[in-house]
Amino acid sequence: MYAIVDIAGQQFKVEENTKYYVPRIDAEVDKSVTFDNVLIYSDDKTTTIGTPSVKGMKVKAKVLEHLKDNKVIVFKKKRRKGYRIKNGHRQQLSRIEITNISGSKSKKAEEKETA
């Protein structure tokens, strides 16, 4: 079973008991976070596509740590002018573990299973 979830403006395909690096989340380490913007949910039998999100579905995750990504060097230069600027940037990340994908299925998915 998997779900596609919108986390901080980015879409991630998540499965239970797996770890992911996501943009920094405003939560303390070892605290639980809930994402309710589930775009697609799929189990072994059916796939439910949200319009725009699947109602009633939630993904629960645990924040494992906060860290910084590797440094990205930004170098600007204008030829023949002596203009050179070197900057670096380290993106703030959070490492999360998906603990549970749960919720109620939509009515359309339930109708398809019974038919």
Tell whether the model's pLDDT for residue 109 goes beyond 80: no
Mean pLDDT score of the chain, rounded to an integer?
92
Return the pLDDT at 44. Answer: 86
Question: According to the model, what pLDDT value does residue 18 have?
Answer: 97
Q: How confident is the model at residue 115 (pLDDT cuts 50, 70, 90)?
A: low
Strands (E), the chain: 2-7, 10-15, 19-23, 32-35, 38-42, 47-49, 57-68, 72-78, 83-89, 92-103
Q: Give pLDDT tens digits for 45-90.
A: 999 999 999 999 999 999 999 999 999 999 999 999 999 999 999 9
Domain boundaries, the chain: 2-65+96-114
CA distances from 67 to 10, 36, 49, 60, 92 (A): 18, 24, 33, 20, 6
